């Protein structure tokens, strides 16, 4: 009998088949060769069931039914992909062994585990664990397939993550929504991230700017000119600042102190996903999701970079030879000049800034592969360029500088000067359009720190400390202290990585990675969810909290469940999940704590006072339209997760497209979905009437506006019952006419005009 290989997606399956079964017969949903049958999962084929799968009463949202605590979680197939699940089951019946070839990570492990559970597969399992999809890596991976039992702890962590998100998201969202008569999406990760943004915005709004004065002086010694900044307590008196400037202008001074030291700057760390997303946001204004999608395409479709959903900035000893080969490949690419100038001897197993196995968990840093890119889009090329240049930079020596620090005294007043003299660009030749300046992204002092401002020069800087200098000018400039900067997606990702802690120390940041908010693979989705549920909006690159987002944070905190908004505590939960994946903690204990926390949320919300509806109305700065308590719809809630196991950190997938709140406080479905085999219910959203099984793949929706007519509930009922509305009058430049609106496609909700007979 044969072995069944289950990949995560079709492209991956076909790529694997081309290596292990090059003459395999293509059967559309699978490929069959002499030894292997290769098929795929199309992402998540299964997910946790909604509450009404446990009890019909949960179809209506009622506070009295909370908390919902399944003794054992049920899983359900995704209707959109159930045919593929059936095919996998049929193929498995013909095979004596299985290979899990899903993504080598927590979610990939979970996808395979749910398939195996649902289909009751008992064959022995091997695990393919590779970081790129090149033929060489696939062949090597199949030569060293690992036993499936070695990944049981990873599966436990994946299940714990999914079930914890379900418990917290499902119960908390229903509790706050039914209590306050407005759809409020609450989640284990999305809520503390929202709290981070909220707190930053409150800091900005409460910031009281202080006016102060800075004195800059221009000095000259022979033909050398330089600028110094006055040293002393911050000046808030403009007259005093002007007096000092007048006092030194035109006077002679001396060099009180002069220190010169050699400094080196080493390449920035190799990319993990979060760092890549941050850099792409800063340089190209790409959202975190867009960068992830582009990187995933470069990995899956083009196969020119390694697995992107990694949290590591390092490689292992086994990667060094491959890095050398990739460098050689780049010598015959558009990066030829940079590759020719590189020194492969710099990257070796003892170079701890590159090769550090103790810092590599599931996957090494993102690297270019041996595959030469074919036709990339402009945006894909941007991401590939970032990865290649960062890779090449590690084959170059450090950038070298002379750091000059001067203290100049004039009329008893002291001025400080920092000059950074470039000796050698080193690895910085790999930075596009850079001149070796200190403003390159990655790390370094804040450039807006006036006390430490430095001048970068590329020619030799020489000062004779024993000769006098002349102050040729001095000016007092009015300044104002600046508020904290609003989050961009890039800076928010950095905050999520360290659970909101402002850590400048790279070593501490590295330790905090295990306790960040979410994982590199889920952070982009969390930010997108906050946008879609109407909690945050973008103003250019800046993230701002909407009125609804503000009220959500305040209600949660005032309910006494601050833990739900605590980035640090939620980060510790993520750390515990990481420990479960390593066999260092018990998933049962983690879930017990989650259940206790869920019960405490319900108990505290129960005694909370109902919020006034006006608290959810948008303020002047909110971009979105008004969202009333009776509006749920796909625009307000659909970001709370997919109905797959990757339903996200919020776990509130059934809150995504729910019915409007009725007068009695329940959430009422309007009618059964007419799409054959769906089984969902239609609910009213802001722009249309859609199916609450949207996340399972049902795309049925009747838009409220059609050909100038507003589709009312009565008209909707007529469309569903009779297939058409009553006779209506339509306005037209060439003359009004009578017609009915007809439901032309019960599978999608498409409408058309049916003119009356003349």
Collapsed DSSP state (helix, strand, coil) of residue 756 = coil
In a domain, 649, yes or no: no
Among residues 268, 307, 314, 689, the one annotated as catalytic is 307
**Helices H / strands E in the chain, number of each:** 20, 27
For residue 510, the model assigns a pLDDT of 60
Asked if residue 620 has pLDDT above 60, the reply is no
Q: Do residues 137 and 65 share a domain? A: yes
In a domain, 74, yes or no: yes
Q: What letter does residue 52 receive in the DSSP assignment?
A: G
Alpha-carbon distances, residue 624 vs 339, 617, 686 (angstroms): 49, 10, 11
Q: Do residues 288 and 318 share a domain? A: yes
Non-local CB neighbours of 699 within 8 Å, separated by 6+ positions: 691, 748, 749
- When pLDDT is cut at 50, 70 and 90, the band that residue 245 belongs to is very high
Q: Do residues 408 and 259 share a domain? A: yes
In a domain, 648, yes or no: no
Q: What is the pLDDT of residues 163-217, one digit of tens each?
A: 999 999 999 999 999 999 999 999 999 999 999 999 999 999 999 999 999 999 9
In a domain, 625, yes or no: no
Q: What is the CATH number of the domain that holds 254?
A: 2.70.20.10
638 touches 695 (CB < 8 A): yes
Largest CA distance in the chain: 105
Collapsed DSSP state (helix, strand, coil) of residue 658 = coil
For residue 504, the model assigns a pLDDT of 55
For residue 447, the model assigns a pLDDT of 40
Non-local CB neighbours of 188 within 8 Å, separated by 6+ positions: 164, 165, 168, 169, 564, 570, 573, 649, 650, 651
For residue 691, the model assigns a pLDDT of 85
- When pLDDT is cut at 50, 70 and 90, the band that residue 695 belongs to is low
Q: Do residues 262 and 279 share a domain? A: no
Q: How far apart are CA 265 and CA 444, in angstroms?
A: 10
Q: Do residues 382 and 405 share a domain? A: no
For residue 682, the model assigns a pLDDT of 86
In a domain, 156, yes or no: no
For residue 730, the model assigns a pLDDT of 79
Asked if residue 450 has pLDDT above 50, the reply is no
Q: What is the CATH number of the domain that holds 543?
A: 1.10.460.10
In a domain, 377, yes or no: yes
Q: How far apart are CA 488 and CA 282, in angstroms?
A: 9
Average pLDDT over residues 341-367: 93
User: Which is nearest to 527 in space by CA: 554, 492, 568, 499?
Assistant: 492
Work out how many domains the chain is built from and give that number: 5
**Residue entry with tokens 């002499």:** 34
For residue 671, the model assigns a pLDDT of 82
For residue 464, the model assigns a pLDDT of 95
Q: What is the CATH number of the domain that holds 38?
A: 3.40.50.140
Q: What is the pLDDT of residues 133-178, one digit of tens each?
A: 888 889 999 999 999 999 999 999 999 999 999 999 999 999 999 9
Average pLDDT over residues 238-263: 97
Percent of the chain with pLDDT over 90: 66
Tokens of 537: 């909006």
Distance of CA 268 to the CA centre of its chain: 21
Assess whether 110 carries a catalytic annotation: no
Q: Would strands 95-101 and 2-7 be described as parallel, antiparallel, or unpaired?
A: parallel
Tokens of 44: 């998540």
Q: How far apart are CA 730 and CA 719, in angstroms?
A: 18
For residue 648, the model assigns a pLDDT of 38
Query: What value does the mean pLDDT of the chain take?
Result: 87
Asked if residue 631 has pLDDT above 60, the reply is no
344 touches 394 (CB < 8 A): no
Q: Do residues 496 and 607 share a domain? A: yes
Handedness of CA 610, 613, 619, 625 (dihedral sign): positive
Q: How far apart are CA 347 and CA 344, in angstroms?
A: 6
Taking residue 434's Cβ as centre, other Cβ atoms within 10 Å add up to 13
In a domain, 131, yes or no: yes
For residue 625, the model assigns a pLDDT of 38
Q: Which residues pair with 100 in a beta bridge?
A: 6, 127
Q: What is the pLDDT of residues 268-297, one digit of tens each?
A: 999 999 999 999 999 999 999 999 999 999
- HSE-up of residue 353 (Cα within 13 Å, Cβ side): 16
- Of 596, 616, 636, the one marking the end of a domain is 616
Q: What is the pLDDT of residues 588-600, one digit of tens each?
A: 999 999 999 999 9
472 touches 218 (CB < 8 A): yes
- CB burial readout 469-495, b (16+ within 10 A) else e: bebeebebeeeeeeeeebbbbbbbbbb
Range of the domain at 747: 669-755
Q: What is the pLDDT of residues 508-550, one digit of tens each?
A: 556 566 778 888 888 999 999 999 999 999 999 999 999 999 9
- When pLDDT is cut at 50, 70 and 90, the band that residue 737 belongs to is confident
102 touches 127 (CB < 8 A): no
Q: Would strands 681-684 and 671-672 be described as parallel, antiparallel, or unpaired?
A: antiparallel
What is the DSSP annotation of 256-290?
A: EEEEEEEEEEPPPPPP-HHHHHHHHHHHH---HHH
- When pLDDT is cut at 50, 70 and 90, the band that residue 505 belongs to is low
In a domain, 140, yes or no: yes
Q: Do residues 407 and 474 share a domain? A: yes
Q: Do residues 178 and 255 share a domain? A: no
Alpha-carbon distances, residue 628 vs 238, 544, 685 (angstroms): 51, 20, 11
Q: What is the pLDDT of residues 409-418, one digit of tens each?
A: 999 999 999 9
Q: Do residues 172 and 39 share a domain? A: no
Name the residue with higher pLDDT: 741 or 671: 741
Q: Do residues 138 and 6 share a domain? A: yes
Cis peptide before 314 (omega within 30 of 0): no
Q: What is the CATH number of the domain that holds 304?
A: 1.10.290.10
Q: Do residues 300 and 412 share a domain? A: no
Tokens of 692: 């609450």
For residue 653, the model assigns a pLDDT of 36
- When pLDDT is cut at 50, 70 and 90, the band that residue 630 belongs to is very low
Q: Do residues 217 and 201 share a domain? A: no
């Amino acid at each position: 009998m044969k072995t069944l290989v289950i990949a995560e997606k079709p492209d991956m399956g076909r790529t694997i088949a081309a290596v292990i079964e090059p003459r395999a017969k293509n059967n559309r949903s699978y490929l069959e060769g002499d030894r292997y049958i290769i098929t795929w999962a199309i992402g998540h084929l299964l997910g946790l069931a909604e509450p009404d799968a446990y009890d019909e009463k949960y179809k209506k949202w009622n506070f009295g039914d909370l908390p919902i605590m399944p003794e054992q979680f049920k899983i359900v197939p995704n209707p959109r992909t159930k045919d593929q699940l059936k095919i996998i089951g049929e193929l498995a019946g013909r095979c004596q062994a299985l290979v899990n070839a899903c993504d080598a990570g927590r979610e990939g492990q979970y996808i395979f585990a749910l398939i195996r559970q649902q289909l009751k597969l008992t064959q022995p399992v091997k695990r393919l664990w590779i970081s790129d999809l090149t033929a060489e890596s696939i062949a090597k991976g199949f030569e060293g397939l690992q036993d499936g039992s070695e990944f049981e702890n990873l599966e436990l962590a994946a299940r714990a993550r999914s079930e914890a998100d379900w418990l917290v998201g499902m119960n908390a969202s229903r509790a706050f929504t039914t209590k306050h008569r407005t759809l409020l999406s609450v989640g284990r990760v999305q809520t503390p991230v929202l709290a981070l943004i909220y707190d930053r915005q409150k800091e900005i709004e409460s910031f009281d700017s202080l006016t102060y004065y800075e004195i800059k002086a221009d000095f000259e010694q022979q033909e050398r000119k330089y600028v110094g900044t006055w040293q002393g307590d911050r000046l808030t008196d403009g007259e005093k600042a002007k007096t000092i400037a007048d006092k030194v202008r035109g006077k002679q001074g001396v060099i009180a102190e002069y220190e010169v030291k050699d400094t080196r700057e080493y390449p920035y760390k190799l990319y993990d996903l979060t760092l890549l997303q941050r850099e792409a946001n800063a340089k190209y204004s790409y959202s975190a999701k867009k960068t992830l999608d582009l990187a995933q395409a470069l990995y899956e479709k083009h196969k020119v970079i390694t697995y992107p959903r990694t949290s590591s900035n390092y490689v292992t000893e086994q990667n060094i030879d491959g890095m050398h080969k990739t460098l050689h490949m780049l010598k015959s690419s558009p990066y030829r000049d940079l590759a020719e100038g590189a020194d492969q001897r710099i990257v070796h197993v003892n170079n701890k800034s590159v090769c550090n196995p103790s810092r590599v968990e599931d996957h090494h840093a993102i690297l270019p592969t041996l595959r030469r890119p074919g036709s990339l889009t402009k945006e894909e090329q941007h991401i590939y360029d970032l990865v290649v240049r960062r890779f090449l930079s590690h084959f170059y020596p450090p950038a070298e500088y002379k750091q000059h620090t001067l203290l100049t005294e004039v009329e008893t007043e002291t001025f400080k000067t920092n000059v950074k003299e470039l000796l050698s660009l080193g690895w910085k030749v790999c930075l596009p359009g850079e001149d070796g300046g200190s403003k390159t992204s990655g790390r370094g002092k804040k450039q807006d720190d006036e006390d430490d401002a430095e001048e970068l020069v590329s020619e030799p800087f020489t000062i004779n400390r024993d000769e006098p200098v002349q102050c040729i000018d001095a000016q007092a400039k009015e300044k104002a202290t600046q508020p904290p900067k609003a989050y961009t997606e890039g800076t928010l990702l950095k905050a999520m990585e360290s659970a909101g802690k402002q850590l400048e120390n790279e070593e501490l940041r590295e330790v905090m990675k295990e306790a960040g908010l979410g994982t590199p693979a889920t952070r982009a989705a969390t930010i997108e969810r906050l946008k879609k549920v109407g909690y945050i909006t973008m103003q250019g690159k800046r993230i701002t909290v909407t009125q609804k987002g503000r009220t959500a944070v305040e209600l949660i905190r005032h309910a006494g469940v601050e833990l739900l908004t605590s980035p640090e505590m939620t980060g510790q939960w993520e750390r515990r999940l990481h420990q479960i994946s390593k066999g260092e903690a018990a998933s049962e204990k983690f879930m017990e704590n989650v259940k206790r926390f869920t019960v405490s949320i319900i108990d505290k919300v129960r005694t909370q006072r109902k919020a006034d509806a006006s608290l959810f109305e948008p303020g002047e700065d909110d971009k979105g339209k008004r969202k009333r308590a009776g509006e749920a719809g796909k625009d307000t809630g659909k970001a709370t997760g997919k109905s797959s196991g990757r339903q996200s950190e919020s776990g509130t997938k059934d809150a995504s497209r729910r019915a409007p709140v009725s007068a009695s406080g329940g959430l009422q479905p309007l009618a059964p979905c007419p799409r054959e085999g769906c089984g969902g219910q239609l609910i009213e959203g802001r722009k249309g009437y859609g199916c609450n099984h949207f996340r399972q793949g049902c795309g049925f929706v009747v838009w409220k506006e059609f050909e100038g007519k507003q589709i009312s509930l009565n008209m909707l009922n007529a469309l569903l019952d009779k297939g058409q509305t009553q006779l209506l009058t339509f306005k037209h430049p060439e003359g009004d006419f009578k017609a009915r609106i007809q439901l032309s496609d019960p599978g999608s909700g498409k409408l058309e005009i049916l003119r009356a007979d003349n």
